[in-house]
Amino acid sequence: MRQSTPFLQTTANPTKRTLGSMGQKSPSVAPPIHNLILYKKPLHPELFQMKARKNIAHGPSDLEAWLMNGSHMVRFQHKTLCLSELVTDLDGGLPLTGAVASFQCLNEKDFEQSFREHGVNYITTVQTENLSESLYRATYQEMLAFAQETDSLKVAYDSPVGNGKNLSVLHLVRLVREIHAEAYHLFAHGGLVLRTQTIFEFR
C-alpha cells in the first residue's frame, strides 16, 4: 500500500496534489530562485555535490536519483530514451546542450512533454510556499519522519543564513507503467518549501 504524503491534500486531478492549509505566511524573504531543467541526455555526477543516491528498475525502464543540498537530479532511462530532470539554484556551470525545457520554480506550475516516438510522457508539477516560522518547524519534523518511514533519500543541513535547519527529501514510487519522483526542499531562511511531483509514464 502506498505511503500517504504528509501535509498534502488530493485535488480533483489524481496526479496533482497541493500543499495543505498553510496559515499565516512569514514576511517575504527571498532565498535563491530555483530552476527546473529537463534534459534529453544524462548528466555527469562531477557537476554536483551529491549527498545521497538511489537506483530503481521497473520493467523496461530504470531511474537514478541524486540528492544534493537544496536540489536534486532524476535520470529516467527507457530503452534508448534518456531524460534528466534537474532542480537547482545554480545560475552557471550547467550544460546547455540537450536541454528540452527550463523554467523557474515559483508559485505553482504544471508542465508536460510527450516523447511519443519512445512511448514516454513526462509530467511535473512545481509548487512553492513561504511558511510562518512555527509552521515551518512543524513541516520540517513531519517531512523528516516521512522520509524515515518510507526510506526516502534525505539530507538535513544547516541553513547558511540564520540558525535554522534545511531539509531535502526525494521519494520514489513505482506504479503500473509509471515511476513517480516527489521532491521536497525546505529552506529555513524565509520558510520556503519547494515541492516537485514528477511522473514518468511509459508503455
Tens digit of each residue's pLDDT (9 = 90 or more) over 177-202: 999 999 999 999 999 999 999 999 99
Q: Is residue 110 in some structural domain?
A: yes
pLDDT given at position 91: 82
- Tell me which amino acid residue 117 is: E
Asked whether the predicted pLDDT for residue 24 surpasses 60, the reply is no
88 vs 160: which has the higher pLDDT = 88
pLDDT given at position 30: 60
- pLDDT 10s digits, 53-79: 999 999 999 999 999 999 999 999 999
pLDDT given at position 46: 87
- pLDDT 10s digits, 7-18: 443 333 333 433
How high does pLDDT run on average in the chain?
87
CA distance to 77, 124, 174, per residue, from 201 (Å): 11, 11, 10
Q: Is residue 184 in some structural domain?
A: yes
Q: Is residue 121 in some structural domain?
A: yes
Q: Is residue 116 in some structural domain?
A: yes
Q: Is residue 78 in some structural domain?
A: yes
Buried/exposed code over 3-24 (b: 16+ C-beta within 10 A; e: otherwise):
eebebbeeeeeeeebebeebee
pLDDT given at position 53: 97
Given a contact cutoff of 8 angstroms between Cβ atoms, the answer to whether 12 and 32 are in contact is no
pLDDT given at position 26: 43
Q: Is residue 9 in some structural domain?
A: no
Q: Is residue 41 in some structural domain?
A: yes
Q: Is residue 6 in some structural domain?
A: no
pLDDT given at position 162: 79
- Mean pLDDT across 117-139: 97
H helical segments located in the chain: 133-150
Q: Which domain holds residue 75?
A: 35-202
Total structural domains in the chain? 1
Question: What is the end-to-end Cα distance of the chain in Å, rounded?
Answer: 23
